[in-house]
Amino acid sequence: MSRKQNNYSYFFLFTTLSSIVFIFSSSNCVSGLAQPYHALVAPITKDLKTSLYSITLNINEKYVIDLGGPFLWYRCPKRYPTVPCSSPVCSSLKPYSSPSCPSLMCQSKAHCTCVVTPVNPVTNKCSLAQLTQKDLSISWTNGSTPANSTAKFNKQYVSCAPQSLLNSLPAGVSGMAGLSRSPVSVSTLFMSRKLKIKKQFSVCLPGTDSAPGVMFFGDGPFRMVPPTPADVLSFLAYTPLVKKPKSADYFISLKGINVNNNKVVTLGAEGHGGMKLSTVVPYTTLSSLIYKPFLKAFVKATRGIPRAPRVKPFKYCLNTTNLGSTRVGLPVAAIDLVLGKGGNWTIFGANSMKQVSDDVACLAFVDGGPEAKQPVVLGSFQIENNFLSFDLEKSRLGFSSSLFFIRTTCANFNFKGEFWG
């Protein structure tokens, strides 16, 4: 993907530091056995109350996944190892310090420990906490089922966090797992050159809490259970990932938004408006300048369907009593995200309309206000049952649109290890 490199000198410098820290960190990796596999797998569970998604590590520890998080943070035990503030890893994490947290000056260089700023992105609260180390483990996979062995990553850098930072998170979770490009994010820790794991991770969020979705670290093939046993990666379209200075989040270029094949919003020929991808924002959020014409176009495209009273936080709801359904959800106008390098990401009824009761569904896009920090944030509801592959080696995002089209879902990975003929 072509970029104007001079716009990202900040990231060039940081990438150099990151590679040094990555090598140092991954040197502590231990794989229990010599493995024929090149990918890792973990289940993703959805919490209906909070609309957050958690990955399971270390057999039974759950961590809310945050695409833009710089590291894993959790409630540390009373005693834990600390990291000197003079260490290379501490220096490399300074660009990820949250500006909303107060700075802490080290009083004694002789006993200075590395302080980082874990953030709860749901409440936007942060805390000063110490960097520490923790052992992590995750299952190997052949792409069809989990293997009988696990990969163990000993003494990996993570952050402590106070119990108060876990407020608003699902009950029973241990903390949050960041998946950004940070040198100590969970994705970086697991994408080990030593273990021949490609710098690629894939996310498939489930739409319910009745069965888990799936996350992979590494390369495929990745197969769901019948009736669609084919490699899911073969169904993906690709678009470049875009880096933004001083941001750990993942972005893709977005030129505009179409409704029912009609152009509604244009964000510029090069897509510089950008679209942030999020697993902690429940519904796609548009700045008011974009939301108003988008809503107007969707209302026009669905004017033949009876309306229903609004249900917060949504502004447009429909009576679905006699509407019926299709393989990809309610039969409403399709929404196309027109991407910066060509191609569309199409959102069908299953990902555009939130069923709030037996006979009412609402357009699951919200108005972020006139001063929204990002013009478009693609929320987790729009990502559910879509397969997303973050290929960091080629700096591109693979996306499937709704897996319902190929008669499968994110809950169809064979975690039970049963034979499917």
Query: CA–CA separation, 415 vs 206, rounded Å?
Result: 14
Of 391, 254, 406, 397, the residue nearest 335 (C-alpha): 254
* Cβ atoms 106, 112 nearer than 8 A: yes
Residue 255 parent element (H or E): strand 254-259
What helix, strand, coil percent values describe the chain, rounded to 5?
Answer: 20, 35, 45
| Per-residue pLDDT at 104 | 60
Question: In b/e form, how buried is each residue of 257-292, taking b as 16+ CB within 10 angstroms?
Answer: bbbeeeebbebeeebebbbbbbbbbbbbbbbeebbe
Query: CA–CA separation, 129 vs 73, rounded Å?
Result: 9
| Per-residue pLDDT at 132 | 96
Query: What is residue 298's three-state secondary structure?
Result: helix
| Per-residue pLDDT at 230 | 83
| Per-residue pLDDT at 297 | 97
The pair phi, psi for residue 98, each rounded to 5°, is: -80, 130
* Cβ atoms 174, 87 nearer than 8 A: no
pLDDT in tens for each of the 421 residues of the chain? 444 344 433 333 333 433 333 333 333 444 444 567 889 999 999 999 999 999 999 999 999 999 999 999 999 999 999 999 889 999 999 899 888 887 765 544 557 899 999 999 999 999 999 999 999 999 999 999 999 999 999 999 999 999 999 999 999 999 999 999 999 999 999 998 788 899 999 999 999 999 999 999 999 999 998 777 789 999 999 999 998 888 899 999 999 999 999 999 988 654 455 899 999 999 999 999 999 999 999 999 999 999 999 999 999 999 999 999 999 999 999 999 999 877 899 999 999 999 999 999 999 999 999 999 899 999 999 999 999 999 999 999 999 999 999 999 999 999 987 543 3
Q: Is the dihedral of CA 284, 287, 291, 293 positive or negative?
A: negative
* Cβ atoms 350, 402 nearer than 8 A: yes
Query: CA–CA separation, 277 vs 378, rounded Å?
Result: 5
Whole-Å CA distances, 70 to 34, 144, 158, 208, 324: 30, 30, 10, 27, 43
Query: CA–CA separation, 258 vs 252, rounded Å?
Result: 17
Tokens 């010599």 correspond to what residue?
34
Give residue 119's region: left, alpha or beta (phi > 0; psi -120 to 50). beta
First-to-final CA distance of the chain: 41
Instruction: For strands 344-347 and 262-266, give the pairing.
Output: unpaired
Beta bridge partners of 223: 231
| Per-residue pLDDT at 418 | 55
The structure's pTM equals: 0.89
| Per-residue pLDDT at 229 | 75
* Cβ atoms 314, 366 nearer than 8 A: yes
Query: What is residue 138's three-state secondary structure?
Result: strand
| Per-residue pLDDT at 110 | 58
* Cβ atoms 65, 57 nearer than 8 A: no
- DSSP per residue over 75-88, as a string? ---SS----BTTSH
Query: CA–CA separation, 169 vs 329, rounded Å?
Result: 29
| Per-residue pLDDT at 2 | 42
Query: CA–CA separation, 25 vs 227, rounded Å?
Result: 41
